[in-house]
């Protein structure tokens, strides 16, 4: 960003563009052009150009030139504070206008992965923004939630790992990882104990197939029809599970590299809608889910270490299945 000459403080060019302010906040929150460009859907070059125009309108540099990192100047910090306030007021006004004309009912289903941590504040935000909408929430497995949509029992469902279906709307992807308690120990000499959802379960199938492909023996230490039961078993040190990093409990950790376990790839985060036209209430909830999930996926990706080739355990045994 080039040095800029001062401009007339009363110039109309000093009107700040809302999308540029959003880009500034994304840069400040994520700390890099690459991450911010992914969140706001612009190239890094376009994002840099936005910041140049913002500096022109501000009439002074907003970023330090003495660092390889994105560091705000004193003026930049001041601008950031105002940007957050302007955006918050804009969003408040938009929601106030939207909620005056939105009413009715939404029947919403969600995967258990989102039900305990991420989803409650999102639903609270929706309830505050649209008080005239009555919302019914069902927390269940992703497949059952989608089947409920198809049967007309739900209006919209949020699911994981069902992106191959042609009727879904993909929001993004989350990595699938191995998770264990921080004190859990395994050296590869014995079969790997697993704590998993009761079959059928796509994550369960993905994990056991990957272990079989890597020649790592395994046994089922616990099965549960609920995510709460799986987390309880993992937290007690009974075994390793296969989930996304969403909702990772204190005391648990991702152990892909620690135990040399095979990479599991990613799973789609998807929305499913009932047939026919969508009501304004359904569209309003879907819009909030897209926005908040998009940011959540970006935050999770930026917080996780880069994937590396897994190391092999010291001893490998033939794959073996032991019933629970």
C-alpha distances in angstroms, 286 versus 3, 90, 271, 290, 292?
43, 20, 8, 6, 10
pLDDT at 164: 62
71: which 2 tokens?
Answer: 């560091």
pLDDT tens digits, residue range 44-97?
A: 888 888 898 999 888 889 988 665 667 889 999 999 999 999 988 887 777 666
The mean-pLDDT minimum among 26-40, 105-119, 257-271 falls in 26-40
Are β-strands 192-197 and 218-224 bridged in parallel, bridged antiparallel, or unpaired?
Answer: parallel
Residue whose structure tokens are 């880009």: 23
The mean-pLDDT minimum among 124-138, 214-228, 285-299, 300-314 falls in 300-314
pLDDT at 226: 87
Q: What is the pTM of this model?
A: 0.62
pLDDT tens digits, residue range 213-229?
A: 999 999 999 999 888 89
List the domains of the chain with CATH numbers: 12-98 (1.10.10.10), 103-172+268-303 (3.40.190.10), 175-265 (3.40.190.10)
pLDDT at 115: 77
171 vs 99, which has greater pLDDT? 171
Residues 6 or more apart whose CB falls under 8 angstroms from that of 233 comprise 195, 221, 222, 224, 239, 241
- Classified as helix, coil or strand, 222 is strand
Residues facing residue 168 across a β-bridge: 272
pLDDT at 249: 84
CB 163 within 8 A of CB 266: no
- Classified as helix, coil or strand, 168 is strand
pLDDT at 99: 56
Percentage of residues in the chain having pLDDT higher than 90: 35
pLDDT tens digits, residue range 7-27?
A: 444 444 467 888 899 889 888
Q: What is the mean pLDDT of residues 306-312?
A: 41
Side-chain-facing half-sphere of 323: CA atoms under 13 Å: 0
Range among 3-17, 156-170, 237-251, 292-306 with highest mean pLDDT value: 237-251
pLDDT at 98: 62
pLDDT tens digits, residue range 173-209?
A: 888 999 999 999 998 889 999 999 888 888 999 999 9
C-alpha distances in angstroms, 42 versus 22, 49, 132?
12, 11, 35
264 vs 7, which has greater pLDDT? 264
């Amino acid at each position: 960003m080039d040095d800029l000459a001062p401009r007339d403080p009363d110039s109309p060019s000093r009107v700040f563009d809302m999308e540029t302010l959003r880009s500034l906040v994304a840069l400040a929150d994520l700390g890099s052009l690459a991450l911010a460009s992914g969140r706001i859907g612009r190239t890094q070059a376009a994002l840099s150009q936005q910041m140049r125009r913002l500096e022109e309108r501000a009439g002074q540099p907003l970023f330090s030139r003495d660092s390889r990192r994105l560091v705000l100047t004193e003026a930049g910090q001041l601008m950031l504070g105002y940007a957050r306030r302007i955006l918050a007021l804009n969003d408040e006004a938009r929601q106030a206008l939207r909620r005056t004309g939105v009413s009715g009912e939404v029947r919403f289903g969600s995967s258990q992965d989102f039900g305990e941590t991420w989803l409650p504040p999102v639903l609270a935000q929706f309830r505050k923004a649209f008080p005239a909408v009555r919302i019914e929430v069902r927390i269940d497995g992703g497949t059952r939630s989608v089947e409920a949509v198809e049967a007309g029992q739900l209006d919209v469902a949020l699911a994981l790992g069902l992106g191959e279906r042609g009727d879904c709307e993909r929001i993004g992807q989350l990595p699938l990882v191995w998770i264990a308690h921080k004190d859990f120990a395994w050296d590869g000499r014995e079969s790997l104990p697993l704590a998993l959802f009761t079959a059928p379960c796509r994550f369960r199938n993905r994990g056991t197939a990957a272990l079989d492909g890597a020649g790592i023996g395994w046994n089922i230490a616990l099965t549960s029809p609920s995510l709460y039961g799986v987390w309880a078993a993992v937290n007690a040190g009974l075994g390793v599970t296969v989930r996304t990093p969403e909702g990772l409990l204190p005391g648990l950790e991702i152990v892909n590299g620690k135990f040399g376990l095979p990479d599991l790839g990613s799973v789609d985060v998807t929305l499913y809608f009932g047939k026919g036209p969508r009501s304004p209430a359904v569209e309003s909830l879907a819009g909030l889910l897209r926005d908040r999930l998009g940011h959540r996926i970006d935050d999770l990706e930026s917080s996780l270490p880069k994937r590396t080739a897994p190391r092999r355990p010291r001893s490998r045994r033939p794959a073996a299945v032991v019933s629970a």
